[in-house]
């Protein structure tokens, strides 16, 4: 059990996910871990992602939390875009 805990502390992806979870908690969001893991996997496979869902959902908080952790707070290194319903038709 002790080896597994040490491995998790050294794994950079687990450390990244932990930091993202901390950022989300600071913003008042508690998301399932599987959402943050799936977001990381999708981001690693394709650099462009389209998140869909109702307004006021955690989409923006998730993206901004990842960006804060990855860029160290450099808000000029990512560009969020707001979608409109007519794009889907």
Overall domain count for the chain: 1
Q: Where is pLDDT greater, at 76 or 27?
A: 27
- Distance CA(50)–CA(34), nearest Å, equals 18
In this prediction, residue 37 carries a pLDDT of 92
Percent of the chain with pLDDT over 90: 17
pLDDT tens-place string over residues 18-51: 999 998 899 888 889 998 999 899 988 987 878 8
Highest mean pLDDT out of 12-16, 68-72, 73-77: 12-16
Range of the structural domain that residue 64 is part of: 2-88
Per the rule left: phi > 0, alpha: psi between -120 and 50, beta: everything else, 73 is: left
In this prediction, residue 34 carries a pLDDT of 93
| Per-residue confidence band for 5, with pLDDT thresholds at 50, 70 and 90 | low
């Amino acid at each position: 059990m002790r080896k597994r805990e040490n491995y998790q502390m050294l794994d950079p992806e687990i450390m990244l996910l932990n930091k993202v979870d901390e950022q989300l908690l600071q913003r008042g969001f508690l998301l399932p871990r599987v959402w943050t893991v799936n977001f990381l996997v999708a981001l690693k496979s394709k650099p462009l992602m389209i998140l869909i869902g109702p307004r006021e959902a955690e989409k923006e908080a998730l993206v901004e939390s990842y960006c804060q952790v990855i860029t160290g707070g450099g808000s000029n290194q990512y560009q969020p875009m707001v979608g409109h319903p007519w794009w889907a038709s």
